[in-house]
Amino acid sequence: MPNIHPKTTPIYQTSVFAFEDLNALELYFEQPGQSYMYTRYGNPNTDELAQEVNKLEQGAGAVVTSSGMSAILAAVLAVCKAGDHVLCAEEIYGGSSTLLSQELTRIGIDVSFVPPADMYTLSAYVQPTTRLLLAETMSNPLLQVLDIAKVAQETQRQGIKLVIDNTFATPILTKPLHLGADLVIHSVTKYLSGHSDVTAGVVVCKAAEDLQRVQRVMMVYGLNLSPFEGWLAARGLKTLRLRMKQHSNNALAVARFLQQHPAVEQVWYPGLEEHPQHMLAKAQGQGLFGGMLSFRIKDNAEAVNRFMQALPSIPFAPSLAGVNTSISYPLGTSHRALTPEQQQKMGITAGVIRFSTGIEEPEEIIAELETALAAV
């Protein structure tokens, strides 16, 4: 067979790898990372994705998983066991909240939620068994921006680990490990892959010890990603920097348009000067503010329906961060599992719409919004 040097990594669509003999098997265990045995343990495609994300976040290493949720699970289980206590930001993706409060509590991990006002002074929440704090760079869905360096100082003072979900920002805007975080997680499904055709997650670790534990959890719990999805995500990752610039520029133009529209009652976007953490977001995001925003029309489900139905082509799709613009409805999707009291406290009312700005021409997006808002 001739020497083959593909420019792009081939897809290793195999569940298992063969060994030449017993000596090769022993070498696999003596020199980890030099060969492969079973795709649940590792595969060239998922390893490539992990290495490329780690380069961007600049950690000790990364582990890819089957989804963003499994990445959160792997990060928490790598640090915690039954009897331990976890802190979680009150304003966070509903799925993260549900995983902690309804599932991990069943296996003996205690959870407390920290309101935004208390994120930088954790003394009242930290217990002797507290192991970590989970928070987001920008909260889902109302885009509150966390001062990661400030909260990292507090978690270090308290002797607990800081786990940051960097999905909304991506490492193009913010590198949480540089600011003091211990572990960073992403739903690769979103911006890192970027084309709405992959479900995947990743955990990036600052310390080799944490990396080994996350790797172990991924392997033993079977949280691994398939080779094809690893290949697709690595392919999407190559355009991340370009996409994030366009997402950010478009979102700022859309936010400014919405801000002055009479049918829109409130806009949440860190790029607006009126946003309470605008200057923090500007510094922490290298002058970019990301592609996500939320806005509120009248708190009436029928008004929201009229708006959605009047959009010429923007889909109502309960996810985010694809190259095509889409909208979502937090009250009925991402934060549906929260109690009405929790939803109200977070400000997630009937008129709140989450807007994932794509990379189309901004004039096209604004024209669609103009048409739909006229129906409200």
Active site residue 93: yes
Report the 10 Å Cβ neighbour count for 30.
8
Q: Which of 40, 216, 235, 245 is catalytic?
A: 40
From edge to edge, which strands make up the β-sheet containing 352-356? 266-268, 292-296, 352-356, 326-328
Active site residue 243: no
Asked if omega into 141 is within 30° of 0 (cis), the reply is yes
Active site residue 120: no
Q: Which of 165, 191, 243, 354 is catalytic?
A: 165
Active site residue 191: no
Q: What is the 3-state secondary structure (H, E, C) of the chain?
A: CCCCCCCCCCCCCCCECCCCCHHHHHHHHHCCCCCCCECCCCCHHHHHHHHHHHHHHCCCEEEEECCHHHHHHHHHHHHCCCCCEEEEECCCCHHHHHHHHHHHHHHCCEEEEECHHHCCCCCCCCCCCEEEEEEECECCCCCCECCHHHHHHHHHHHCCEEEEECCCCHHHHCCHHHHCCCEEEEECCCCCCCCCCCCCEEEEECCHHHHHHHHHHHHHHCCCCCHHHHHHHHHHHCCHHHHHHHHHHHHHHHHHHHHCCCCCCEEECCCCCCCCCHHHHHHHCCCCCCCEEEEECCCCHHHHHHHHHHCCCCCECCCCCCCCCEEECCCCCCCCCCCHHHHHHHCCCCCEEEEECCCCCHHHHHHHHHHHHHCC
Q: What is the 3-state secondary structure (H, E, C) of 209-242?
A: HHHHHHHHHHHHHCCCCCHHHHHHHHHHHCCHHH
Q: Which of 131, 161, 190, 213 is catalytic?
A: 190
Q: Which of 12, 93, 191, 269 is catalytic?
A: 93
Phi, psi of 328 (to 5 degrees): -140, 165
Q: Which residues are catalytic?
A: 40, 93, 165, 190
